[in-house]
């Protein structure tokens, strides 16, 4: 009996040691991810900080100013993309990411993805070649998410290809599927990592070896989004130094498409008449900078910094449009919107949520509170312009 107890005790201790080792491994991996995240954000913020110092200390010539502004735009875009990818991975883990399915032209999706990655391609001096099919290919897909998939694949190719590299995007129809290949002549993938590269936080080599190695979430997110569309994604490589190829297979929409609506999030900004706009945010820098931007576009703007002030300003100013933050002092954005809808003068105002919260539950709550639209910070100016161009339409359609 004593021997049995001793053996059981030894097994318990061995199990406890394994649990501790597993805990240390998980903590180490979490530390690596956080350190890499801090590294990525610092890398992106450094050019922005430097550019701001250039603008503060000089009166730049137009050419220099253009370079500085373009640099800041690239870094802000990458920071926004990084944060969005992190949030999307979390939503997918919780099964909270929904798709907005519509008929889309795959060619337009790829063009949009390439355009988004154009600054990175130019900065690295890469040559991109696209081989398209002779006829348009239509899919039933979420255009924003599908653009995100191919944007992530192109971004990955840019990061892991040395300057002056070559990237090829090609399309092929195979039965009822379309196959999109994104190939590069970059650093390649070891055979043992070909299936693991789609796992979250997995990277090819230590993250410290490449300045822009990323967090290891782009490919994981791409795979999950492709699978939500009923497709598959695989990776090919002959090994380190031999380049990589990512193959996406998606089902083609059956039947002939007579008309194709502009996909959400891909509407080009149109000319819009000036509006009276009230901007409400407790961040003075955020609201003042957006007010300046809208004023330059010909709009009349006023600002408020809390919920009570927003209602008072709205009653006095009678704006056509209110861009309203959710987390406000004194009264929340929800309360402000409900109060507006309860008045005769505020019932028909266009009220758009402009907030740092973008999950599906938050969008549902803004809709229930009476908002006409929902934008996530930092605002996509082209998207905001498109929304403002539709103010006054009946029925009003300001889908997020």
Residues 6+ apart with CB under 8 A from 46: none
Contact 320, 368 (CB under 8 A): no
Give whole-number Cα distances, 145 to 20, 40, 186, in Å.
39, 23, 26
Please compute the mean of the pLDDT values over residues 118-141 and round it to a whole number: 89
Give the residue, 285 or 348, on which the prediction is more confident. Answer: 348
Residue 139 dihedral angles phi and psi, to the nearest 5°: -130, 160
Model confidence over 144-195: pLDDT tens digits? 889 889 988 998 899 889 999 999 999 999 999 999 999 999 989 888 888 7
How far is 96 from 91, CA to CA, in rounded Å?
A: 5
Question: Residue 287 — very low, low, confident or very high, per pLDDT cuts 50/70/90?
Answer: confident
User: Percentage of the chain surpassing pLDDT 70?
Assistant: 67
Q: Whole-structure pTM over 0.75, yes or no?
A: no
Beta pairing, strands 166-174 & 127-131:
parallel
Give the residue, 28 or 82, on which the prediction is more confident. Answer: 82
Beta pairing, strands 244-251 & 177-184:
antiparallel
Contact 396, 372 (CB under 8 A): yes
Model confidence over 343-381: pLDDT tens digits? 999 988 999 988 877 667 778 888 888 998 888 777 777
Beta pairing, strands 166-174 & 232-236:
unpaired
Residues 6+ apart with CB under 8 A from 182: 150, 153, 154, 157, 167, 168, 169, 245, 246, 248
Nearest to 105 by CA among 159, 146, 70, 163: 146
For residue 207, pLDDT over 50 is answered with: no
Domains of the chain: residue spans and CATH: 16-93 (1.10.287), 102-251 (3.30.565.10), 276-389 (3.40.50.2300)
Model confidence over 80-125: pLDDT tens digits? 766 776 666 666 666 656 677 889 999 999 998 888 888 888 888 9
Give the residue, 165 or 46, on which the prediction is more confident. Answer: 165
For residue 265, pLDDT over 80 is answered with: no
Nearest to 153 by CA among 240, 229, 246: 246
Mean pLDDT over the full length of the chain: 77
User: What string of H, E and C letters represents the secondary structure of 180-217?
Assistant: EEEEECCCCCCHHHCCHHHCCCCCCCCHHHCCCCCCCC
pLDDT for 267: 39
For residue 16, pLDDT over 70 is answered with: no
């Amino acid at each position: 009996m004593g021997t049995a107890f001793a053996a059981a005790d030894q097994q318990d201790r061995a199990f406890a040691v394994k649990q501790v080792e597993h805990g240390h491994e998980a903590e180490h991996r979490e530390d690596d991810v956080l350190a890499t995240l801090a590294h990525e954000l610092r890398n992106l913020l450094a050019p922005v900080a430097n550019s701001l110092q250039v603008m503060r200390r000089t009166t730049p010539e137009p050419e220099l100013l253009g370079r500085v502004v373009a640099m800041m735009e690239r870094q802000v875009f990458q920071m926004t993309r990084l944060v969005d990818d992190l949030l999307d991975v979390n939503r997918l883990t919780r099964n909270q990411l929904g798709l907005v399915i519509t008929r889309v032209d795959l060619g337009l999706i790829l063009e949009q993805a390439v355009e988004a990655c154009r600054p990175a391609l130019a900065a690295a001096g890469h040559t991109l070649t696209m081989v398209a099919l002779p006829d348009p290919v239509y899919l039933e897909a979420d255009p924003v998410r599908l653009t995100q998939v191919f944007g992530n694949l192109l971004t990955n190719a840019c990061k892991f290809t040395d300057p002056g590299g070559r990237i090829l995007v090609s399309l092929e129809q195979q039965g009822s599927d379309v196959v999109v290949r994104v190939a590069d002549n970059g650093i390649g993938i070891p055979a043992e990592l070909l299936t693991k590269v789609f796992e979250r936080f997995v990277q090819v080599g230590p993250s410290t070896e490449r300045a822009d190695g990323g967090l290891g979430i782009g490919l994981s997110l791409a795979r999950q989004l492709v699978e939500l569309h009923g497709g598959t994604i695989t990776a090919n490589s002959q090994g380190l130094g031999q380049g990589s190829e990512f193959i996406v297979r998606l089902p083609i929409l059956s039947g002939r498409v007579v008309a194709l609506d502009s996909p959400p999030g891909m509407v080009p900004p149109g000319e819009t008449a000036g509006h009276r706009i009230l901007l409400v945010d407790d961040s003075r820098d955020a609201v003042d900078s957006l007010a300046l931007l809208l004023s330059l576009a010909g709009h009349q703007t006023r600002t408020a910094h809390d919920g009570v002030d927003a209602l008072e300003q709205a009653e006095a100013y009678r704006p056509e449009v209110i861009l309203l933050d959710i987390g406000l002092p004194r009264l929340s954005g929800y309360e402000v919107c409900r109060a507006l809808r309860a008045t005769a003068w505020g019932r028909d105002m266009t009220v758009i949520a402009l907030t740092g919260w973008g999950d599906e539950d938050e969008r549902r709550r803004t809709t229930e509170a009476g908002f006409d639209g929902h934008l996530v910070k930092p605002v996509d100016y082209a998207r905001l312009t498109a929304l403002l161009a539709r103010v006054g339409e009946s029925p009003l359609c300001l889908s997020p």
